[in-house]
Structure formats: structure tokens, C-alpha cells
Amino acid sequence: MTTAIIVAAGSSKRMGFNKLLAPLSGEPVLRRTLGVFQKCAAIDEIIVVTSDALRMEVDVWRSSGFDKITKIIAGGAERHLSVHAGLQALNPDCDIVAVHDGARPLISVNQITRCIEAARTQSAVACARPMTETLKRCDSDGCITESIDRANAWIMETPQVFKRELLVRAYDAVIRDRLHATDEVSAVQHLGESVYVVENSEPNPKITFPADIVLAERFVD
């Protein structure tokens, strides 16, 4: 069994309003995200980790066609706490876990499937894209101090997909050691385990600012 944990408990402070309910071509961002995982044959169930403000909305969607959503649970104050809560709610039969940001609505069924297939052989993978821009480091005043070599640099995206036992063990260690893991790759690397990239050639932006909605509109089918 493959379970998707959709993390959707953020405060949207930088957005100024709830970005997960922002309309993207007439459909809320989170609903569009869930729709892709609902359509993906490689996903057996979906656990949504969200806020109280969104719980009722997600429950309405579940009763109107999103039958892969098995649980809607409360998120934590930080992302790693939300993911840990989702892991505690996994079905005993689950062996592969895909963690995805609810604010990445343009992920494709094909890319989700590729990540899951890779995780079955490599145990730990992350959807990612290679860095192509020139990178510079600045000091606290914004003055450029040096160039950063972009060779072998990758931008992490989601889903990040793992064998269940490995990810559960990683997040248990994160909680035990009181770490602030910003993604699953960091959590698994804390154990000293390797994580591999699965290149994504399709747009997969995270909706963070109002302008991101305008950009995402260009790529919606």
C-alpha cells in the first residue's frame, strides 16, 4: 500500500490570506493538489494534515468524490510536526509513503508515479530539478560576496517518497533530537541514510506569494 501524506497546515502569513483556498483556474489550490493524487493509480490512500480552518472544507471534498482520503488530521505548529502526525496515522499495511506540500498543485500523475517506483528500489527519493540560475552569496547588508558553484546543485520539491520504516524512524529521531527538519530529505539524512533525486521536467512551483498564483495559471491544463 502506498499512502500520500498531504501537508496543508501552514499559516499562509506571507500570502496574506489562505493560499490553499486561493482559486487556481476556478478551483482551490488544495483541492487541485488532492485531485492529482486522487487520480494517480499508484496512490492507495491519502491522509490530509491540515488546520482547523480547512478541515471542514476537506471533509466536504472527501464526500464528493475524493474517496482516497481516509483521514483528515490536525497539523502541528511546524511542518515536521505535521508530517510526524501524519506518520502516526498510517495504515498498518502501508509500505511506501509520499509526502507532498498541499501548496504544490501542479504536480503531475506521471511524476508522482515515477517517484513511487524509484522509492521501491532506492528506499528514499525526492522530486527535484537541477539548478540552472547563477548563484551568489551576500552579506547581511545585501552586498554580493562570492559566487556559489551550481554544479550538482538541485532544488528540492515534493513529493518526497520513502519506504515507511525508514521515514518513521527518521521522524522519530527528529522529534527525539528536537531538530527542525524543513523537509523529509533532511530528516532521513539525519540518520546518515542516502536520498536520491528523481528529476522533474514539469512545472511544480510552491504557492507562497500572490504572484505565484498568476504564474501557476499559465501552466494549468
Find the mean pLDDT for residues 185-197: 98
Number of structural domains the chain divides into:
1
Domain range holding 181? Answer: 2-215
Strands (E), the chain: 2-8, 23-24, 27-28, 45-50, 69-74, 96-101, 124-130, 135-138, 144-148, 154-163, 196-199
Q: How confident is the model at residue 6 (pLDDT cuts 50, 70, 90)?
A: very high
Greatest Cα pair distance, the chain, in angstroms, is: 54
> Does residue 220 lie in a domain region?
no
Torsion angle of the four alpha carbons 7, 10, 15, 20, in this order, in degrees rounded to the nearest 10: 40
The rounded mean pLDDT for the chain is 95
- How far is the C-alpha of 152 from the C-alpha of 159, rounded, in Å? 20
Find the mean pLDDT for residues 119-138: 97
Find the mean pLDDT for residues 133-149: 97
> Does residue 200 lie in a domain region?
yes
55-113 pLDDT tens trace: 999 999 999 999 999 999 999 999 999 999 999 999 999 999 999 999 999 999 999 99
Q: Are 101 and 7 in contact (CB under 8 A)?
A: yes
**How far is the CA of 185 from the CAs of 43, 161, 190, 195, in angstroms?**
21, 9, 9, 7
> Does residue 105 lie in a domain region?
yes
Nearest Cα to 58, choosing from 24, 4, 20, 103?
20
pLDDT of 221 over the 90 cut: no
Strand, coil or helix: 62: helix
> Does residue 221 lie in a domain region?
no
- How far is the C-alpha of 43 from the C-alpha of 116, rounded, in Å? 9
> Does residue 174 lie in a domain region?
yes
27: alpha, beta or left? (left if phi > 0; alpha if psi -120 to 50):
beta
Residue 182 belongs to domain with CATH number: 3.90.550.10
> Does residue 80 lie in a domain region?
yes
**How far is the CA of 38 from the CAs of 44, 73, 171, 204, in angstroms?**
9, 18, 26, 17
pLDDT at 16: 57
> Does residue 207 lie in a domain region?
yes
